[in-house]
Chain A
Amino acid sequence: MTLVYKDLLSEFRSRETISSMLVFSMLVVAIFNFAFDPGSAYAQQAAPGILWVAFTFSGIIGLNRSFVHEVDKGCLHGLLLAPFEHGAIFFGKMLGNLIFISIVELLTLPLFAVFFNLQTLQGLPQLLVVILLTTLGFSAVGTLFSAISVNTKTREMMLPILFLPVVIPILLAAVNATAMIFDGKGWNDISDWLRLLAAFDLIFISLAYLTFGFVVEE
């Protein structure tokens, strides 16, 4: 199972996925800076939303690539033929996506902090936990839907349409928790949101795990 994760690490060699995700994510942050008057109070208020828009959309790019490599040379069949249960493939791919998206998020964060003049350092541990929990939920839903969309006629087009409405509750919790962190609130204030995020993660991971077998069957 962790072997699938090893395979994803090896895909670092091409670096095409991570780099395009990163550039996209930074572009979103930059573009929103032009959309709002930089430094205005309005831009500060919108900051948590902008951060999560950047993370969500760059995440979609990465998730889209996730199964393209597997389907191209039929590698997914190779995995499915291996003597273990198909759910293990789900966890392997989910873990790989989690790592990919997290790396991009961590690399975007400094740029974001500079553009928006944030003193994020004090709330950093809280922010990292929010990012981790949210990205986990994204990866669970995204891995499942990526396996679906790669087999549709439109390939990349289908993923955002399936993915975005489903992750709205996760996104909502993430944006709110992030806003509170930017306001200087501590663990106690955001604990409700964190628990909500954790609960969503649990629900989505178990549902996606249970249904994954039906998606990869020919």
Chain B
Amino acid sequence: MTAALEVRELYMTFSGVDALSSVSLSVPQGTWMGLIGPNGSGKSTMLNVLSGLYKPRAGAVVVSGSDLGRVPARSRIKHGVCRTFQHPQLAASLTILENVMVGAVRGRGASADDETGLQWLARLGCAEYAEHLPAEVPYGVQKRAEVARALISEPSLLLLDEPAAGLSARERAELVAALREVREVLPDLTLCLVEHDVGLVASVCTELAVLSAGKLIAHGPTDEVLADDAVKLAYLGSRSTT
């Protein structure tokens, strides 16, 4: 079966420094993969390469069998790739629902109507804010509205960039509940979740990929990866081994 996402020998260099070095991984359809690693390990770079914002120095990104090497960022949504941002990128003068519907302009959910948008907002627990402007709603709602906007494009690969960053404990709990709801509704969706909160990642992802200094140091089932000594070392430093 064709992998939902296949990354082959990816290299990304900034001013001579390798931000990603020889990263290869394959993610089967329907897998929720957490992409973790310490600060500066290359997680965000990886997400930017997958979404087409960065052009890698070498390597290939293949989504559902299509090589996206020559596909610019603005066209990736037609290949089923959609993402959210660490800081929500919503149009300030559009209501939350209108923002969600922008996801249907070029995505594969072109036939989606306002009802579908409201349905996604409801599943993510923020339907009551549909008619509000982004600046009038809590930060957590802005982040979930971005997820709804991405989902209405009917992606096959959803990239979430630190969805829990800046959220309160309660908002994190709401986010986890919302993500579980998404997984139930869309069992075939493949998810790549970049997040600092390893506990949150472990609670929703079945697989983990760990980056350290631009290299993939572990990839596999969540439990196994968390028990991996190299991962503990990368995350907690040498003290964890003493």
Question: Do A and B make up one complex?
Answer: no
Chain A residues in the interface with B (C-beta under 8 A) = none
